[in-house]
Amino acid sequence: MKDAEIIKVSGKVGKTIKKAIADKKQRMDALLKKDFTNEEPVKIIPPKGTEE
């Protein structure tokens, strides 16, 4: 892992990032209202660390 690089943005790019984050939050909020209980899983990944 390299040190963090700082990218300075302004104008349209900044607004685009802000909107992208807001859109993503809205998308997740909508997904969380859906019920996935009856959806058939593609795969079940077993838990880790249960062996004693």
Partner 1 sequence: MRSLLRSFPLKELKNNRFVFTVSGKFEYLIEFHLSHFNLPSSIQDIQLYELSFGPKNKPERTSSQLINDMTRNTIFTAIDYFLNKSDCVLMYICDSSDKREQARHRLFAENWYPLSKENFDVDLIIRVIEDQDLGDIYYSGILMKRDFKLYDHFLNEFKNPEILNK
Residue numbers at the binding site for partner 1 (CB under 8 A): 1-18, 20-22, 24-25, 27-29, 31-32, 36, 39, 41-50
- Minimal distance in Å, beta carbon 35 to partner 1? 9
- Minimal distance in Å, beta carbon 37 to partner 1? 9
CB distance 17 to 9 below 8 Å: yes
Q: How far is Cα 42 from Cα 8, in angstroms, rounded to an integer? A: 41
Nearest to 25 by CA among 15, 17, 14, 13: 17
- Minimal distance in Å, beta carbon 52 to partner 1? 9
